[in-house]
Amino acid sequence: MTTRSDIRQRLGLRPVINVSGTMTHLGASIVVPEAIRAASDILPEWVEINDLHRKASRAIAEATGAEAGFVTASAASGITLAIAGAMTGADLARVEQLPDAAGMKDEVVIQMGHMTGYGAAIEQGIRLAGARVVPVGNVTDARSYQLAHKIGERTAAGLYVVSHHTVQYGQMPLDVFARVCHERGVPVIADLASEYDLKGFLAAGADIAIYSAHKFLGGMTAGIVAGRKDLVRATFLQNGGIGRGMKVGKESIVATIAALEAWGRRDHAAVRRTEHGHLDLWMRRFAAIPGIKATIIPDPTHNPLDRLMLEVDPETSRITAWDLADALAAGAPPVIVRDHEVEQGFFQLDPCNLHPGEAEIVADRVVAELDAARKRNAPSGRSVADRRAARFERLLRWPD
């Protein structure tokens, strides 16, 4: 068992337990030892960055089946830079001209149900390149003829998003979206920040696949752009333009290489067994608690992992799902749950980021908070709107 650092205690930070998932606001992931060693080894050394990028391109190509790859500062910056690359190609004068897109193709088609956020709106990520957002369909129904109608002489790219935040029905699948775009000579960029599958999306028609290096892969903070060599090269060349402010350090590049290599060696079946052990523990602990319904559910984007959905009946349990989530986050130790749908009366527990022994602590905390709620016998009456307002107010007080 690896000895844990006391870094959070030394910095005065709360020792949170993450059952939310690979979330940026919680630090994204537990970085794998191989990536930590690689970053530590390169940090004291000088290196020619563009040559290091060439090494990374080969590692990305091998892992994804792409023609080439490029490491960016994040998946979000990868989206912006890939769109910029589709607009400029390898024309260095155009690279320097952005975000002024005069004379370039500058429209990006995207299904309206994919216009989501990842801490910021994806539309802003498009606009940062100097491009214009062209929505397709409506939020719950986008069709191929609507996409074809929106593609014109100014269309630079199509952007396709795979995320639990997108609308999960009524959307075109990637292969249909790509077929329509390709019939009109438009490249497809796929945002896959939290996806396991490193090869299937390129095979399904994406010309550029963008992943997070610091989520499931367990690298340091970085993004991965993989795909057609000409488009990856054009993305890389943005380092001489708008990409300069999104540059990635040597430590993140080598950590990405190491994380990809470790991913290829990982015993994924063993990881799933460990996760299911946590889920089974939670199911047993919560089975007989009044007002609580526990269900194991699959990942909505078909990643090979399951989570536990905890439905909360406020009449019986005497607490709402959102108040229970907040009580868990406020207690000792803080437990941060997956609560983006909490207004529907449930939240989820994600088992993929736990250190040994933490699954038991999570179960103890949930049981203790529910026991305390029943003893109070008086729900707070606070609405989800009140909760959201309080969060925004706290954000606006930062750094206080």
pLDDT of residue 1: 47
The answer as to whether 297 is a domain residue is yes
Whether residue 173 sits in one domain with residue 227: yes
Quote the pLDDT of residue 387: 86
Co-location of 272 and 218 in the same domain: no
Whether residue 186 is found in the same domain as residue 42: yes
Note whether residue 1 is domain-resident.
no
Q: Containing domain of residue 286, as a range?
A: 7-25+268-396
CB-hemisphere CA count at 13 Å for 224? 38
120 and 131 both lie in a single domain? yes
Residues 11 and 157 occupy one common structural domain: no
Instruction: Supply 144's token pair.
Output: 């191929």
pLDDT in tens, 177-226: 999 999 999 999 999 988 889 999 999 999 999 999 988 899 999 999 99
Whole-number Å distance between alpha carbons of 310 and 30:
24
For 133-192, the pLDDT digits (tens) are 999 999 999 999 999 999 999 999 999 999 888 999 999 999 999 999 999 999 999 999
The residue behind tokens 């989520």 is 215
Percent of the chain with pLDDT strictly greater than 70: 98
Are 52 and 200 contained in the same domain? yes
Q: What is the pLDDT of residues 254-297, one digit of tens each?
A: 999 999 999 999 999 999 999 999 999 999 999 989 999 999 99
The pLDDT confidence band at residue 232, using thresholds 50, 70 and 90, is very high
Question: Is the confidence at residue 89, as pLDDT, over 90?
Answer: yes
Say whether pLDDT at 114 is over 90. yes
Residue with more model confidence, 3 or 96 = 96
Residue 15 confidence (pLDDT) above 60: yes
Question: Does the pLDDT value for residue 43 go beyond 90?
Answer: yes
Q: What is the pLDDT at residue 242?
A: 97
The residues, any chain, with a CB within 8 Å of residue 95's CB and separated by 6 or more, are 84, 88, 237, 238, 240, 241
DSSP conformational letter for 90: T
As for how many domains the chain has, the answer is 2
Task: Kindly list the distances between the CA atom of residue 193 and the CA atoms of 210, 373, 378, 398, in Å, as whole numbers in the listed order.
Answer: 6, 37, 41, 27
Mean pLDDT score, 16-36: 91
Would you say residue 96 has pLDDT above 90? yes
Using the CB atoms, write b or e for 317-349: b if 16+ within 10 Å: bbbbbbbbbbbbbeeeeebbbbbeebeeebbbb
Q: Copy the structure tokens of residue 20.
A: 């939310």
Q: Is 206 left (phi over 0), alpha (psi -120 to 50) or beta?
A: beta
- Under DSSP, is residue 143 helix (H, G, I), strand (E, B) or coil? coil
The answer to whether position 378 is within a domain reads yes
Tell me the torsion sign for CA atoms 142, 143, 144, 148. negative
Instruction: Check residue 113 and report its DSSP letter.
Output: G
Residue 230 domain-assigned (yes or no): yes
In a domain, 366, yes or no: yes
pLDDT of residue 102 exceeding 80, the answer is yes
- H or E element, residue 360: helix 358-376
| Last-in-domain residue among 249, 265, 281 | 265
Q: Report CA 260 to chain centroid distance, whole Å.
A: 17
Q: What is the pLDDT of residue 2?
A: 58
* Structural domain ending residue among the three candidates 219, 240, 265: 265
Last residue of a domain, one of 212, 233, 265: 265
On whether the CB atoms of residues 217 and 260 are closer than 8 A, the answer is yes
The whole-number pLDDT of residue 3 equals 67
Residues 175 and 95 in one domain: yes
Q: Does residue 279 sit in the same domain as residue 206?
A: no
Residues 89 and 45 in one domain: yes
The reply to whether 130 and 47 lie within a common domain is yes
Residues 390, 313: one domain? yes
CATH number of the CATH domain containing 295: 3.90.1150.180
3-class DSSP assignment, residue 347: strand
130 and 93 in a common domain? yes
